[in-house]
């Protein structure tokens, strides 16, 4: 089962929706049950972003791309490329599993050793969009001592099964794989792995109307050498990026899938760069590239209250297909601001 959200909160139950939402901000209560997957029909996502350089000219979106975030005008194939030629992944073996478990992949027709699959390579289960670190190889079996994992937050994934499509990827020193999450043309969740080819564009398989997170994977401990951008074909808008050092996107931007209701349970913001400044942060909803409205607004400054953390006693409802984002303005150039929000999602 796939998950969406960087805390990897998944599957959680509509039969107890009212009590779950009532306790959603309590990490030791109902929200923990969501995280454990004990409330089917409910899930959650945490979104946060950082804009390290906001100037006085106009309000800017809180995301690592800076300026105003512009979404694709329609669902688009996206091209992914790094600014560094060494961010490359190489598929050394691929195929269809004949069996396995959460710690093994079996393919009776494979020749993994002959193909060059090695310990410390990365295994991708493209059918379930899950990832694992290879710790053992024979000609027909790959072993993952830590198990196959959901890429959103590292929860144990589902057992490899007959018919699952897989790729074994080696990437040398840099990270060579990007995992992207977003929405398709029908505003439904979709996700996939992209194997990078340095500065050369690699297109997504799916068309994305929204792309709200990306994260890098590879065998090394440092991650990307360059910055990876996901650029919509035709629109040429950057929908998401991963800055080297961060190794995942930082964007306080999200769209509720069309088959879910959203309930905002937390919103926070802070100055993230040491400057003498006053800033206004706004949580907004509506439609990106169109009409947006202020859900709530806060002022922070470097000499007084430089941050806020707001838990909603009554969660704020956000309907299917609605965009949510954070923007800020400032009275001082080069101001850094970070912000984020937590949303409980209810299947409808």
Half-sphere exposure of 66 (CA within 13 A, CB side): 10
What's the mean pLDDT when you consider all of the chain?
89
Q: Residue 223: what pLDDT? A: 86
Q: Where are the domains of the chain?
A: 41-69+253-347, 76-87+173-242, 90-170
pLDDT at position 21 over 90: no
Give the pLDDT confidence score for residue 48 in this predicted structure: 94
Question: Mind listing the pLDDT tens digit for each residue in 304-334?
Answer: 888 999 999 899 999 999 999 999 999 999 9
- Is the pLDDT score of 64 beyond 70? yes
Confidence (pLDDT) at 220: 67
Tell me which fold the domain 90-170 belongs to.
Elongation Factor Tu (Ef-tu); domain 3 (2.40.30)
Residue 35 tokens, joined: 């995280």
* 3-state secondary structure at position 59: coil
pTM above 0.85, yes or no: yes
Q: Write the pLDDT tens digit of every residue in 219-260.
A: 766 789 999 999 999 999 999 999 988 999 999 999 999 999
pLDDT digits (tens, 9 = 90+) for 257-288: 999 999 999 999 999 987 899 999 999 999 99
pLDDT range class, residue 27, cuts 50, 70, 90: very low
CA distance 324 to 255: 6
Q: What percent of the chain has pLDDT over 70?
A: 89
Predicted confidence (pLDDT) at residue 95 exceeds the cutoff of 80:
yes
Measured at the CA of 279, the angle between CA 244 and CA 284, to 5 degrees, comes to 80
Fold category of 41-69+253-347 in CATH = Jelly Rolls (2.60.120)
Q: Is the pLDDT of residue 26 over 80?
A: no
Q: Tell me the pLDDT tens digit for each residue of 1-12.
A: 334 333 333 343
Q: Which residue do the tokens 């959603």 mark?
A: 24
Predicted confidence at residue 222, as pLDDT, reads: 76
């Amino acid at each position: 089962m796939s998950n969406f959200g960087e805390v990897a909160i998944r599957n959680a139950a509509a039969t107890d929706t009212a009590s779950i939402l009532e306790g959603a901000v309590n990490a030791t209560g109902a929200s923990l049950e969501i995280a454990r997957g004990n409330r089917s029909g409910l899930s959650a996502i945490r979104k946060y972003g950082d804009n390290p350089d906001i100037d006085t000219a106009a309000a800017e979106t809180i995301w690592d791309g800076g300026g105003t975030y512009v979404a694709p005008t329609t669902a688009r194939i996206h091209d992914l490329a790094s600014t560094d030629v060494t961010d490359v992944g190489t598929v050394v073996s691929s195929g269809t599993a004949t069996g396995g478990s959460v710690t093994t992949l079996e393919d009776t027709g494979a020749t993994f050793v002959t193909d060059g699959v090695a310990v410390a390579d990365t295994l991708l289960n493209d059918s379930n969009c899950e990832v694992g670190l290879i710790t053992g190889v024979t000609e027909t079996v790959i072993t993952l001592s830590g198990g196959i994992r959901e890429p959103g937050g590292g929860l144990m994934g589902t057992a490899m099964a007959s018919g699952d499509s897989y790729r074994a990827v080696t990437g040398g020193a840099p990270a060579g794989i990007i995992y992207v999450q977003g929405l398709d043309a029908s505003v439904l969740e979709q996700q996939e792995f992209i194997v990078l080819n340095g500065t050369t564009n690699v297109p997504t398989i799916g068309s994305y109307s929204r792309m709200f997170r990306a994260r890098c994977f590879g065998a090394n401990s440092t991650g990307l050498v360059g910055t990876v951008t996901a650029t919509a074909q035709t629109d040429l808008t950057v929908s998401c990026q991963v800055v080297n050092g961060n190794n995942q996107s930082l964007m306080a931007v999200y769209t509720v899938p069309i088959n879910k209701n959203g309930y905002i349970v937390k919103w926070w913001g802070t100055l993230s760069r040491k400057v003498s400044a006053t800033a206004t942060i706004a949580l907004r909803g509506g439609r990106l590239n169109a009409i947006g409205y202020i859900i709530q607004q806060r002022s922070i400054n470097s000499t007084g209250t430089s941050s806020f953390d707001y838990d909603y006693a009554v969660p704020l409802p956000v309907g299917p297909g609605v965009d949510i984002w954070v923007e800020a303005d400032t009275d001082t150039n080069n101001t850094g601001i970070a912000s984020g929000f937590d949303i409980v999602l209810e299947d409808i």
